[in-house]
Amino acid sequence: MSARRIVLTSGKGGVGKTTTTANLGAALAKSGKRVVLVDADIGLRNLDLVLGVEKRIVFDLVEVVEGRCQLRQALIKDKRLENLSILPAAQTRDKTAISELQMTEVIEQLGALCDYVLIDCPAGIEHGFRNAIAGAGEAIVVTTPEVSAIRDADRVIGKLHERGLPVRLIINRIRPEMVRSGDMLGVDDVTEILSAELLGIVPDDEEVIDTTNRGEPIALVAESRLGAIYAKIARRLEGELVPFTTLGAPSFFERLFRKAG
Amino acid sequence: MSSVRGRGRNLEIAVDRALGAAAEELRTQFAGRPDFYRGSRAVANLGLLEPPAIELAAFRDALAEFGIVLDGVCGGESVAQIAAEVDLAYLGVAQVAEVSAMPRKRQQREVRLSDDARSLIADFAGARADMVRRRVSGPVGGAATVVAAAGVAIPLQPRPVPAGVATLYHRGTLRGGQALHNLGNLVVVGDVNPGAELVASGDIVVFGALRGVAHAGAQGDRNARVIALELAPTQLRIATVIATSGADRTKRGPEHASIVDDRIVVVPFAEAELKRESHA
Amino acid sequence: MINQVVQDEVPVAGDVPRVRGRAIVVTSGKGGVGKTTTTANLGTALAALGASVVLVDADVGLRNLDIVLGLEARVRHHVLDVLEGVVTLDEALVTDKRVPKLRLLAAAQTREKDDVDTAAFRDLIGTLRDRFDYVLIDCPAGIEKGFVNAIAGADEAIVVCTPEVAAVRDADRVVGLLGDDRKVELIVNRLRPALVRKGKMLSVDDVNDILHLPLLGVIADAPDVIVSTNRGQPVALDPASEVGESYRAIARRITGQDSAAPEIPREKTFLGKLFGGRS
């Protein structure tokens, strides 16, 4: 099968899996890749919200699996990026509605249609998590530099290794000034504890809340700092060696954070 | 994978793998709700499969565990003889089973209602498939309240609403993930939150804010209406026409939605034309 | 108040029989909105008021309540050990030296949520209610078996929600699943009044316009919370912390000592930021 199938997971909820899936997908699509995003959070779907396609949902993942519709009838094409499509989750069902085998089959079918399948995993390590990783060939673990998140990420990485999935790490919502004052773990601390290959570092940005509420991924906002970072992550995913921006430059970030709010 | 679909009052089971595996799959599927289909009659569509008679008998027995009576099979010509060996009717290669031609006992009223409700969901899926086809060929949503490519024929056979069907009356707010499906009309006194779903073969009335998905006339009645104190649905569907509300969030008071000239039109309730129009 | 050693009540023959304690599950649907932090801080604040409190971590396999309380080094046994009869309840309960009336029953880390039998867990909560004034259950994210277990045995729920669309949707789903037989109240967490004013964040009214729940409290976003959870020192113990004060106020509302409507944090003026505590 042609496509790379990547699950985005974390263990801990609320660290930014869905936002990362949406923005990384957008960045890849912008660079010319054909991308399909799959929301595996049945019953608590949010990927459609973050992308602003909620109003256009007619069929969903569970109905595809149950044979009520064709796969292409359920796929929603993004209006802003023609290479980006999303397969939404069902809202009025729960995660027992599909099996790992069924999920694998859907992901395989999608794999024939695009270059990247990104699977947004639900929080936790229960049935929903197992479904989400079932069809994947590789994993990205998203974590924030907080002790609870790192501990959960560690548990999840263990489970991913059990399945033989290669794992790469994105550290989300890092606040450089807090790292400097010793109130937040730094990048090196995190990568050392988790011993996984680093794929990206995304700083905390209050604009993300608003863009998420409005369904406009920040990666699509022209000239946004975060947009540039997601573009770099996309390039790294493609195999390019892109150096990490040092977040240490104090004056730039201190100015930025003082201006906020 | 195998699928179970309601067709009229009965089930059609489409099989796409060896019968043994299909039976296992169905057992797993039904395990959570072993009585859901109890009392139903079914037809199995074997596609191109030519199973040994003994497997067909075993499949029939597996269905019987859940109270499903297998009456007949569809499939290639060779299936006719296999079916005869195990006393099952052979129904040819037709997709739609002519089960009505077969003798059967009168169904209990409760079972009939649940069959109809299941067929409602199946019809609903058919209606939505149609809507997706239209969406693909035309623009969707945006500020306008319309999605429908003009001139596209609707391949739906509207079903008459059976006599004696009640209006479902629900008091309380419907939360995300909850759904109300009814053969007949639907009245909700309370809000319908985003992520909640209302499906009715008749009209839908929400005495509150309608913010979820509502589908009126789900079996094809283009005369169905949707009325709400605050009409702000994620998505509105009447028969096979679909529309989304615009981004405008100003509160406008009670509104009434119906199909006029093949598109969904929303007017303030005071101005709504409430006479029933004849079908085109 | 923190360092004062208070004797646990010893039952004496002829005493008035104990009224059953309250079992409250702290839930949300969406992960990362502050369930665990809220459970830890509310428990601490309630215990500081003099009530006997037990905190139960229902997040089997992804436990965090012990970290947030700073007790992870003291955890020897967990809920499954108790349910499976490996140890007694008393052997599993961890005492917090800073807050003597507070106990923790930790989750198992190397097990799965499927390992917990819902009925047995419910019975355990019942047993805890007989011994403690408040049983607070930290619910895992999601709506799967972990959630089902956590709510079993609790006839009250606190839904924690941040002012974001996705969080409100998930909270709404959970409220629907909690059913009509439980008392359900809302805490809005991580409000940023400046962003609400600019229209870049939902207001409390926007949130409750959908959720329709009695409001128990509103907590502002503040960086000292991250620091405190990383260090295992609940902000409810810090007299200078505004977030700590919000939790203490919620605790007073829960016990009934305070019946005023919850205060909604206001935007800090420039002078306020300069002279008033940490912002």
Q: Which domain holds residue B226?
A: 129-271
B29 touches chain A (CB under 8 A): no
Judgement on whether residues B60 and B97 belong to the same structural domain of the protein: yes
- Angle between helix axes A207-214 and C165-178 (nearest 10 degrees) is 60
**CATH number (domain holding residue B174):** 2.160.20.70
Give the tens place of pLDDT for each residue, B181-227.
988 999 999 999 999 999 999 999 999 999 999 999 998 899 999 99
pLDDT of B11 reads 81
B246 interface with C at CB cutoff 8 Å: no
B138 touches C: beta carbon within 8 Å: no
**For residues C153 and C124, is the Cβ–Cβ distance under 8 A?**
yes
Please give the full DSSP string across A108-161, using - where no structure is assigned. HHHHTT-SEEEEEPPSSSSHHHHHHHHT-SEEEEEE-SSHHHHHHHHHHHHHHH
SS3 (DSSP) at A47: helix
In this predicted model, which residue has the larger pLDDT, A255 or A37? A37
What integer pLDDT is reported at residue C11 of this predicted model?
A: 44
In a mutational test of the C interface, the residue from A142, A148, A206 whose CB has the highest number of chain C CBs within 10 Å is: A148
Q: Do C32 and A13 touch (CB under 8 A)?
A: yes
Highest mean pLDDT among A73-87, A203-217, B1-15, B132-146: A73-87
Q: What are phi and psi of A139, to 5 degrees?
A: -135, 145
Q: Which residues of A touch B1 (CB under 8 A)?
A: 65, 67, 102, 105
- Asked if C225 and C246 touch (Cβ cutoff 8 Å), the reply is no
- Region of poorest pLDDT, from A83-87, A91-95, B98-102, C83-87: B98-102
Three-state secondary structure of chain C: CCCCCCCCCCCCCCCCCCCCCEEEEEECCCCCCCHHHHHHHHHHHHHHCCCCEEEEECCCCCCCHHHHHCCHHHCCCCHHHHHCCCCCHHHHCEEECCEEEEEEECCCCCCCHHHCCHHHHHHHHHHHHHHCCEEEEECCCCCCHHHHHHHCCCCEEEEEECCCHHHHHHHHHHHHHHCCCCEEEEEEEEECHHHHHCCCCCCHHHHHHHHCCCEEEEEECCCHHHHHHHHCCCHHHCCCCHHHHHHHHHHHHHHCCCCCCCCCCCCCCHHHHHHCCCC
* ipTM of the complex in this document: 0.85
Compute the count of residue pairs across chains A and B with CB atoms less than 8 Å apart.
Answer: 56
| Whether residues B70 and B141 fall in one domain | no
Please list the residues that pair with A140 across neighbouring strands: A8, A168
The CATH number of the domain holding residue A78 is 3.40.50.300
| B51 and B8 housed in the same domain | yes
Residue B109 pLDDT level (bands cut at 50, 70, 90) = very low
Question: Residue A112 is part of which domain span?
Answer: 4-259
pLDDT at C200 over 80: yes
Average pLDDT over residues C90-118: 91
Flag whether B225 is in a domain: yes
**Has residue B28 been placed in a domain?**
yes
Q: Which two tokens stand for residue C111?
A: 């097990």
Q: How many domains does chain A have?
A: 1
The residues that bridge with A167 in the sheet, in sequence order, are A139
Nearest CA in chain B to C29: B176
Given a contact cutoff of 8 angstroms between Cβ atoms, the answer to whether A175 and A204 are in contact is yes
Q: Which two tokens stand for residue A118?
A: 């990104």
Whether residue B214 sits in one domain with residue B158: yes
Of B175, B194, B211, the CB nearest to C175: B175
pLDDT at B47: 76
Q: What is the CA radius of gyration of chain C?
A: 18
Reported confidence tier of residue C24, pLDDT bands at 50, 70, 90: very high
Residue B194 lies in a domain: yes
Q: Chain-wide mean pLDDT for chain A?
A: 90
| Complete domains list, chain C, with CATH | 22-275 (3.40.50.300)
Residue B276 included in any domain: no
Tell if the CB–CB gap between C30 and A14 is shorter than 8 Å: yes
| Residue B117, domain member (yes or no) | no
CB contact under 8 A, A126 and C166: no
> Which residue type occupies C95?
T
Tell me, yes or no, whether B153 and B222 share the same domain: yes
Interface residue A185 vs chain C (CB under 8 A): yes
Confidence of residue C17 (pLDDT cuts 50, 70, 90): low
Is residue A213 within 8 angstroms of chain B, CB to CB? Answer: no
Using pLDDT thresholds of 50, 70 and 90, give the confidence band for residue B30. Answer: confident
Per-residue pLDDT, A35: 98
Is a pLDDT exceeding 50 seen at residue B150?
Answer: no
Q: Are both B192 and B244 inside the same structural domain? A: yes
Per-residue pLDDT averaged across A196-211, rounded?
91
Strand partners, C135: C23, C54
d(CA B206, CA B187): 6
Task: Give pLDDT tens digits for C156-170.
Answer: 999 999 999 999 999
Per the structure, the count of domains in chain B is 2
Strand ordering across the sheet containing B255-260: B168-171, B186-189, B204-210, B226-231, B255-260, B263-268
pLDDT band at B157 (very low <50, low <70, confident <90, very high): very low
What are the C-alpha distances in Å from B43 to residues A6, B7, B51, B89?
40, 10, 15, 9
Q: B180 and B97 in one domain?
A: no
Q: Please say if the pLDDT value at position C151 is more than 90.
A: yes
Q: What percent of chain A has pLDDT over 70?
A: 93
CATH of the domain at B37: 3.30.70.260
Counting residues of chain C whose pLDDT is more than 90, the rounded percentage is 75
Q: How many residues belong to chain A? A: 261
Which two structure tokens, joined as six digits, stand for A113? Answer: 């249609």
